[in-house]
A = this chain, B = another copy of it.
Amino acid sequence: MIDEKGILFILSGPSGVGKGTVRKSLFEQSTDLRYSISMTTRAPREGEVDGVDYFFKSRDDFERLIGEGQLIEHAEYVGNYYGTPRQYVEETLEQGKDVFLEIEVQGALKVRENFPQGVFIFLIPPSLEELKDRIVSRGTETEDKVKNRLHAAKEEIEMMDAYDYVVVNDEIENAVTKVQSIVSSEHCKRERVAHQFKKALEEK
Task: Spell out A's residues near B (CB within 8 Å).
Answer: 1-2, 121-122, 128, 131-132, 135-136, 150, 153-154, 157, 160-161, 163-167, 177-178, 180-182, 184-186, 188-190, 193-194, 196-198, 200-201, 203-204
Contacts and interface: CB of A to CB of B under 8 A. Distances in A.
Q: Taking chain A's interface residues, is the majority helix, strand, or loop, or is none over half, making it mixed?
A: helix
10 tightest CB-CB pairs across the interface, nearest first? A181-B184, A181-B181, A185-B185, A166-B193, A165-B188, A132-B200, A182-B185, A181-B185, A160-B194, A157-B197
Given A136-B1, A201-B157, A204-B135, A166 B184 contact: no
Given A197-B131, A204-B135, A184 B190 contact: no
A132, A154, A186, A189 interface centre (most CB from chain B within 10 Å): A132
Contacts of A165: 185, 188-190
A87 B77 CA distance: 56
A132 B204 CA distance: 10
A197 B159 CA distance: 12
Contacts of A204: 135, 150
A167 B194 CA distance: 11
Contact of A178 (B128, B166, B188, B197): B188
The CB with the most chain B CB atoms within 10 A, among A136, A167, A194, A196, is that of A194
| Chain B CB within 10 A, most for which of A1, A150, A200 | A200
B128 A161 contact: no
Nearest to A128: B197
Contacts of A200: 131-132, 135-136
